[in-house]
Chain A
Amino acid sequence: MAGATRSELVESETSAADAVAAGAVGLSAVLFALSMLALFEGITLSEPVAGVPTVTVLGALLVVLGGAVIAFGVGSRVGLVQTNPSSSAGLIAASVAGLSWFVVAGGFASQTLALGTVGGLLGGVAVGGLAFAATVMTREDVGSTVPIGAIPLLIGLVFLTGLIGPGWVWDLGWAQTASFTAEFVIPVATLFGVLFAGWAAAKAYAGFGARGRRTGAFTLIYLNAISIVAVLFILVAFTVVQGVPGLLTGVEFGPGTGPQTSLFGVSFTLPLSVPFVMNGVALLNDYQGVLPAIVGTFWLVVGAVVFAFPLGIGAAIFLTEYAERGRFTQVVEVATNGLWSTPSIVFGLFGFAFLVPRFGNQKSLLSGMLTLGFMLLPLVVITSREAMLSVPDEYRDASAALGVTKWETIRSVVLPAALPGVVTGVILGVGRIAGETAPILLTMAGGTFVPGGQTVDVIGGFVFTSTPPFVANPELLQATSALPYQLFALITAGVGLGSNVADPEGFRWATALILLVVVLSFYAIGIATRYYFRSKLRHE
């Protein structure tokens, strides 16, 4: 066992040095959250926190963080702290350090010292190479802390000394007048500094070595996962906060306040009035609303799913259960994948050129439904095929051995087992088509039509006649609006609103919020369906 290192089997005692490293990890998490907040304008950089400017606070924290990391590394090297470092920090850490120092030094040389591109490159390569060498050639405790910890230290000092303050602007001097403002640069720089320092601190906390690398990697992965969730949450929260005032304009409670509604022939008055979702756009309305667009989007999605679901499942059954695996199925597979990645405007153009002339030569709900159905079809085929292929062959064998025919087997065993997967695919597809604007623009709405003027009544629109085709639905053949189109029209031109809406900005955000809610409720329905079918397959 010559050359093998031995470290302590049990390391239970927490020393003061461990507390420093743990504190550094915690501090980087706090700073990470702060810089995310600053990036999304949750805190304003120019406003002081407890009497101290925000930038100064960030700078001081970064200096403390970088200093703590470096101090820990150096302390470990001189033997003050007990750790188990490897002989080198490794190529990944060295590349990270080298690249960051290349950027920092290159930017400093070319912009601040005005040495130009060549000077910036040379300076960057020199300093970056130095950082790379320093990381690789020293022992891990120094190599993974000093070059990387120096970055937040430097950023912090720049913030503290006011070199980069809230009013700072870096004008790139391009023709397009592009510039970086402090509002963007400070949070992003803090974010990077924090990620580096947190990584180094996590390694230090676990005592370097293999354990240290693992802890460092985990810390980075957790921070990334959290930031993804945070971005999602911020996006939704942003839309909600901006949209709620517009949504709640003119809301009234109490009996008799709502609009007259009839359901299955029974007429009643709702005890609640939310004009934004209960009104259309009309001259005499007290408050304008988006009811026609909501109803349009709903019927659009329903129509597309009703069209694409049976066709897609049928095609998938044929491809997986009946067609021989071979050239033909491969061609179909490639074609469906290609169809799914076809730009939506191409589908829209197809609907405009092919469907619109065939359905009354005007833009209509039916054309929109079919166009979106065509868009949804490839995804239904792909996901249904995947789901059916993942049904174990043992089920098919068992069913065949009982003398059950192929079709009965598909119907009673394969489809129920594949249904959760199919539903998942359709949910994803619905999420996409519900937000499509381009195909709707070309096939269903726009032109002379004022968006949001009229609510489509598909169920009430059926007319029965004594001559062929016996049933007709003029409502389906009329142009109508949908939420994404409404939003598009509102933003580009403010079409159809005129001076009727007091707060166009709030109206737009409320429309966006409603679109989000409609799409999310389709998601919710889909997820509930999937759980229902899945619970029938599982024994839990």
Chain B
Amino acid sequence: MSETEPKTAAERGTVQPLQTTSGETSERTRPEWVEYEFEGEAKLVAENLDVYYGDDHAIKDVTMEIPERSVTALIGPSGCGKSTFLRCLNRMNDRISAARVEGSVALDGEEIYQDGVNLVELRKRVGMVFQSPNPFPKSIRDNISYGPRKHGDIETGWLARLLGRSDEAAERELVERSLRQAALWSEVEDRLDDNALGLSGGQQQRLCIARALATDPEVLLMDEPASALDPIATAKIEDLIDDLSEEYTVVIVTHNMQQAARISDQTAVFLTGGELVEYGDTDRIFEDPRSQRVEDYISGKFG
């Protein structure tokens, strides 16, 4: 599996003659094998999504539907755009000034790339966990209650207590619920006021998951959440993702194909150049890929 990617558009053109130029994009029809039939409702629908970083075309015309209450894995070689795609789902790419997004993403049928979208509400509903654990340099309790507190959902502190509006009981409940959901409660219940940076890497990552769960999201985006962790911590995170999928829609980016095969219900394969090449049931993708390129990638012949 090669980690390099073509540097220029011309190079890409020679490597992948299938690429269309911009004039032809609208006329091109999507390959049929991108269609994926599933039961239940689609939580997120991306249609003809293109992302550019300056002149670099990072994602090309991606269309996919993500079913609710399931685990969707995005796999592919480095630089194939899977993380970029993930960051489109809660508009984190807005934070990169050079990034430009075209196309449409709908959450429960509502377009998120339109004027008047409340980013606070969107990100409350679509939470995110990052590659390296990034708890704030605050206490465990403050890490969990940070989001709800900033949203005004709970009020704490001496001023709230003075005004008789303190929700300390609600905060305690929220902290316990989130930490239990993230399978961390039993390990930290007696040191909630300690600094979160004192936890181990795996605990920190579960704390980050708990922090994302505290805002009561519907979708949880995970960007290689276990890549910085050891096998035992990884196993705990995987078990956790499995539990979470009963209640939440989980979209996970991973480099690790075994991990995708273990935990996901459906898998989307992105390949170099930012194309979604194949999307379907995880078992089917790994046992019987329809695209030759996907088969090569999964069997390790092509990166």
Q: Which residues of A contact B (CB under 8 A)?
A: 324, 392, 394-405, 408, 412-413, 416-417, 536-539
**Contact call B132/A394, Cβ cutoff below 8 A:** yes
Residues of A within 8 A of B128 (CB): 401
Q: Which of B92, B97, B127, B130 contacts A394 (CB 8 A)?
A: B130
Q: Does B124 contact A (CB under 8 A)?
A: yes
Once bound together, how far apart are the Cα atoms of A254 and B136, in whole Å? 54
Once bound together, how far apart are the Cα atoms of A248 and B215, in whole Å? 64
- Residue from A392, A396, A397 whose CB has the most chain B CB atoms within 10 Å: A397
Give the contacts of B75-127 with A (CB-CB under 8 A): 90, 92, 95, 97, 119-124, 127
Residues of B within 8 A of A395 (CB): 134, 136-137
**Contact call A412/B150, Cβ cutoff below 8 A:** yes
| Residue on A nearest B94 in the bound complex, by CB | A400
Instruction: Spot the interface stretch: B177-185, B192-200, B278-286.
Output: B192-200
Q: Which residues of B contact A (CB under 8 A)?
A: 90, 92, 95, 97, 119-124, 127-128, 130, 132, 134-137, 146-147, 150-151, 194-198, 208, 211-212, 215
Q: How far is the CB of A128 from chain B (nearest CB, A)?
A: 57
Q: List 23 A-B contacts (CB under 8 A).
A: A392-B134, A394-B134, A395-B137, A397-B95, A397-B134, A398-B136, A398-B208, A399-B146, A401-B92, A401-B128, A401-B130, A402-B127, A402-B146, A402-B215, A403-B124, A403-B215, A412-B146, A413-B136, A416-B137, A536-B137, A537-B137, A537-B197, A539-B194
Once bound together, how far apart are the Cα atoms of A14 and B134, in whole Å? 54
**Contact call B95/A400, Cβ cutoff below 8 A:** yes
Residues of B within 8 A of A539 (CB): 194-198
Q: A397-B130, A398-B211, A402-B150 are in contact. List 17 more A-B contacts (CB 8 A).
A: A397-B92, A397-B95, A398-B136, A399-B146, A401-B127, A402-B123, A402-B146, A402-B147, A403-B120, A403-B151, A403-B215, A405-B150, A412-B150, A537-B195, A538-B137, A538-B195, A539-B198
Residues of B within 8 A of A537 (CB): 137, 195, 197
**Contact call B90/A401, Cβ cutoff below 8 A:** yes
| Residue on B nearest A411 in the bound complex, by CB | B150
Residues of B within 8 A of A394 (CB): 130, 132, 134
**Contact call B121/A401, Cβ cutoff below 8 A:** no
Q: How far is the CB of A289 from chain B (nearest CB, A)?
A: 43
Residues of A within 8 A of B194 (CB): 539
Once bound together, how far apart are the Cα atoms of A394 and B211, in whole Å? 14
Residues of A within 8 A of B132 (CB): 394
**Contact call B97/A400, Cβ cutoff below 8 A:** no
Residues of B within 8 A of A403 (CB): 119-124, 147, 151, 215
Residues of A within 8 A of B150 (CB): 402, 404-405, 408, 412
Q: Which of A402, A405, A412, A417 contacts B212 (CB 8 A)?
A: A402
**Contact call A404/B146, Cβ cutoff below 8 A:** yes
